[in-house]
Amino acid sequence: MKFKIEKKLPGTLARAGMIETEHGVIETPAFVVVGTKATVKSVTPEQVKELGAQVVLANTYHLYLQPGDELIHTAGGLHNFMNWAGPTITDSGGFQAFSLGAAYGQSVSKIGSAIQREETSDQIAESPLAKVDEDGVTFKSHLDGSEHRFTPERSIQIQHNIGADIIFAFDECTSPTASLEYQKQAMARTHRWAERSLAEHQKLGGGQALFGIVQGGQYQDLREESARVIGGMDFAGFGIGGSFTEDDIGTAVAWVNKILPEEKPRHLLGIGEPQDLFMGVEQGIDTFDCVIPTRMARHGQLFTNQGKINILNAQFRSDFTPPEAGCQCYTCAHYTKAYLAHLFRAKEMTAATLASIHNLYFLINLIKQIRQSVLDGSFAQLKEQFLLTYKKQ
């Protein structure tokens, strides 16, 4: 994997660049489409490509349990298995280990946190099914209750079997409600796990790029320490993990990116609302992943330049305009709000497909515009213009 910075935006941490992988180039800043179980929910790979997506992220925890990483390896790896020829990413499974409900010696649930990184956290966060120790995490499958164990070495082995272009070091993702003392311990453990992940990755060899993950919660000194320690290791790039609140996320990302080595790409894990894209790019983020566009879509929520709309609102029953006037996506080019409102009321699966295509296109088109604005220096205007009309919810 190679990373090239094309342009830096003066007075900010923003940059536009290119990540070259064996399966193609990712022009950054980029939005990474989430395909948790080796499929982007309700959308085919051709539709994902057509809407402009460059890269797909699958979840190690889910694929390890079902259908199993060995099976994906036998199938020729994730790309072959899911029919996605472009770049791919897997996370480390660490977040899921955390969201299964355990923190070291505590039982801290992730419910109530702002982060939304994977599809089943709602259902599995209800009961603490996992235990973290120095060596790794033992957890119970949300599918059948069977017991499993991830260690840094195991996570890397599984990710090598799955075979994504970019993989992540095994980390512990702490709760925003955890104490400073616990955050310190967890961060130190994440750093030791990073070393072990790197060692296992080097031992196994191959062409995958391993990214380290910076933790440290909401504390500036911890975030900066984590950025120095992880940034000093021989990773190909970095992820910024953890839970944030809407108010502190920009600050926390800036603390980290001022320290991380500039010449390596930075991924913001599980974050991807429109306003987050502007914030993240401005603070030096290159890639984002988030389930929000597809999850919202399945519930009938659509992005527009004015904010999110709920297609089930009565007013849309007879609205014969597209979800977003002027939008160039497949859905807006061919369908009206009235048709989508009908499909959602009729509980037709195509409803989720059409809404997902629109929402994914919306974010991908937005980040393309942001990229262009970094290249041509109009970032501040674009941001002001967009946030003027876009109503957060």
Residues that bind a copy of itself (CB under 8 A): 37-45, 47, 62, 66-67, 71, 74-75, 81-83, 317-318, 320, 334-336, 338-339, 341-343, 345-346, 348-350, 352-354
- Shortest CB 76 distance to a copy of itself, Å: 8
Alpha-helical segments (H) within 205-248: 220-231
From CA 286, how far away is CA 293, in angstroms rounded?
19
Is residue 319 annotated as a catalytic residue, yes or no?
no
- Shortest CB 348 distance to a copy of itself, Å: 5
Query: To the nearest 10°, the Cα dihedral for 36, 365, 238, 204?
Result: 50
Closest CA to 56 of 27, 25, 89: 89
- Shortest CB 382 distance to a copy of itself, Å: 32
Residue number, 35 or 217, with CB nearest to a copy of itself: 35
Question: Which residues touch 288 (CB under 8 Å, ≥6 apart)?
Answer: 29, 30, 31, 32, 267, 268, 271, 272, 276, 277, 280, 367
β-pair type (147-150, 137-140): antiparallel
- Shortest CB 56 distance to a copy of itself, Å: 13
Residue number, 36 or 218, with CB nearest to a copy of itself: 36
Residue number, 349 or 387, with CB nearest to a copy of itself: 349
Cβ atoms within 10 Å of 283's Cβ, excluding its own: 23
What's the one-letter identity of residue 100? L
3-state secondary structure of 210: strand
- Shortest CB 50 distance to a copy of itself, Å: 10
Among 91, 165, 171, 286, the active-site one is 91
Q: In what order do the strands lie in the sheet with 2-8?
A: 2-8, 15-21, 24-28
β-pair type (2-8, 15-21): antiparallel
Two structure tokens written together for 276? 């987050």
Cβ atoms within 10 Å of 234's Cβ, excluding its own: 9
Is residue 144 annotated as a catalytic residue, yes or no?
no
Residue number, 328 or 389, with CB nearest to a copy of itself: 328
- Shortest CB 26 distance to a copy of itself, Å: 22
The residue assigned the tokens 């984002």 is 288
Residue number, 199 or 349, with CB nearest to a copy of itself: 349
Two structure tokens written together for 357? 């295509």
Residue number, 325 or 388, with CB nearest to a copy of itself: 325
Residue number, 47 or 373, with CB nearest to a copy of itself: 47
Alpha-helical segments (H) within the chain: 45-50, 60-65, 69-74, 78-82, 94-99, 121-124, 152-162, 180-204, 220-231, 249-257, 274-282, 292-298, 330-334, 337-345, 349-376, 379-389
Q: Which residues pair with 69 in a beta bridge?
A: none
- Shortest CB 294 distance to a copy of itself, Å: 10
Two structure tokens written together for 145? 């209750």
What do you get for the CA distance between the two ends of the chain, in Å? 38
- Shortest CB 321 distance to a copy of itself, Å: 11
Residue number, 81 or 98, with CB nearest to a copy of itself: 81
Among 69, 221, 289, 319, the active-site one is 289
β-pair type (266-268, 287-290): parallel
For the annotated catalytic residues, the residue numbers are: 91, 289
